[in-house]
Structure 1
Amino acid sequence: MVEEALKTDDSKPIDDTKTRGVRSDGEEDEQLEEGEIAGGDIDGDTLSSSSSRPGTAVVQHPLEHSWTFWFDNPSAKAKQASWGSSMRPIYTFSTVEEFWSLYNNIHRPSKLASGADFYCFKNKIEPKWEDPVCANGGKWTMTFSKAKSDMCWLYTLLAMIGEQFDHGDDICGAVVNVRARGEKISLWTKNAANESAQVSIGKQWKEFLDYNEMIGFIFHEDAKKLDRGAKNKYTI
């Protein structure tokens, strides 16, 4: 199970009802803007101390890469003239402890408003076709029924940041798109023409998530030209 790759003695997943802004009456606190971190901005000191005990030193477990969460608010999107102009980074993390502190204080896809897009990309890579690292890439996509993508989103994150893929260097990041009819999770890569690497990534991704439906890979270049008419170049 990919979740084991990012478990440490000090960073085990915790009950999200204790960390997601729950009031004393048991109802979720809805004062947060969708995608915001419970309790406001979290700085590095807060993240480090979240897993510490009084009088003990905090042991950090560094990841191979730093990663950034991005959020595109559906209400903000409607006010923007160009795609991507409402997208903004939330927080960059570089250790196992920082990841769990963030993850346990951020809404799951099932709790996000319809139209929201939530990203996790390697630091310094923007989740846009125009980014130089993404420009020649593409994406694998899985589809889910409404509010059924939460665990697969978590396992996708763990597989990525835990370097579980044989061709992990080719991975840019992942996005979950929340829509009225359901959710989609896409895994972005940087070298779409390398068929063997893309197929390997797609097969491993399905194995990690125990996903049995067929998935397809679309080149970003085709998506830009054909919009919704872009066809899968690879399928598994």
Structure 2
Amino acid sequence: MADTSDKSLTNSKDNKEQTNSTPDPELLIKHPLQNSWTLWFYKNDRSRNWEENQRKIITFCSVEDFWALYNHIEPSSKLLSGCDYSLFKEGIKPMWEDAKNNRGGRWLINLDKKQRINCLDNFWLEVMLCLIGETFGDGSQYVNGAVVQVRGKGDKIGIWMGDSTKGDCILAVGKRTPLGFEAHHDSMKKSGSTAKNRFIV
């Protein structure tokens, strides 16, 4: 009987040692991104001005932090009409007037409101992954961020570029998905909901 209890104690000690052991360091290392990114949320409150409606949510700099954020926010398809998510490089605000944006423009994906349920979340996720993964080739250095806008008539996803004169780099970004490119300067002068496209791919 003593032998049996001694074996039990030995097994119990072995289990405690395995439980208290240090985890594999590979599991603790975060995968850094080339740039830090900030998520913004815009809610249209008519009692406030546009800048007051734009709220900075969080800045992240690793793949793991991106997924932690993505898995804990409302999907874009569930946002109320008039709301936006914006994902921009840290230090750049999601507005035309920002010094990094005012000479730029945006590639635009227009979605019919019927596409919101089936397409919007997937398109927005793909765009965000292209942003944080810097997968736009030569154009990546000129990509400042992206915005998803939920509206009653239809939704938009815009990929914002910092310089509307860099045609080759703009086209490198646009070739990743079917888009039309609008310069911010042209958008400010538009009379309808869209401006004339400078580039189409």
> So what's the TM-score if we normalise by structure 1?
0.69
Amino acid at match of 1:234: F
Q: Which of 140, 143, 149 is the matching residue for 1:168?
A: 140
Q: Does residue 139 of structure 1 match 2:106?
A: yes
Q: Does residue 86 of structure 1 match 2:50?
A: no
Q: Check conservation: 1:146, 1:180, Cα contact below 8 A.
A: no
Q: Which of 156, 163, 171 is the matching residue for 1:191?
A: 163
Specify every segment of 5 or more residues in structure 2 that has no aligned partner in the other structure, as ranges. 1-20
Alpha-carbon distance between aligned partners in 2 of 1:112 and 1:157, rounded to the nearest angstrom? 17
SS at match of 1:149: helix
Which residue number corresponds to residue 68 of structure 1? 38
* Matched length: 172
Alpha-carbon distance between aligned partners in 1 of 2:89 and 2:130, rounded to the nearest angstrom? 13
Change (3 A) 1:94 1:227: farther
Which residue number corresponds to residue 24 of structure 1? none
Q: Which structure has the larger Rg over C-alpha atoms?
A: 2
1:8-35 deviation digits (Å, cap 9, x = unpaired): xxxxxxxxxxxxxxxxxxxxxxxxxxxx
Identify, as 1 or 2, the structure richer in helix.
Answer: 2
SS at match of 2:190: helix
Q: Check conservation: 1:217, 1:232, Cα contact below 8 A.
A: yes
Which residue number corresponds to residue 230 of structure 1? 195
Alpha-carbon distance between aligned partners in 1 of 2:190 and 2:156, rounded to the nearest angstrom? 19
SS at match of 2:144: strand
Which residue number corresponds to residue 120 of structure 2? 149
SS at match of 1:85: helix
CA drift of 1:55 comes to 5.2
Identity of aligned residues (%): 38
Amino acid at match of 2:199: Y
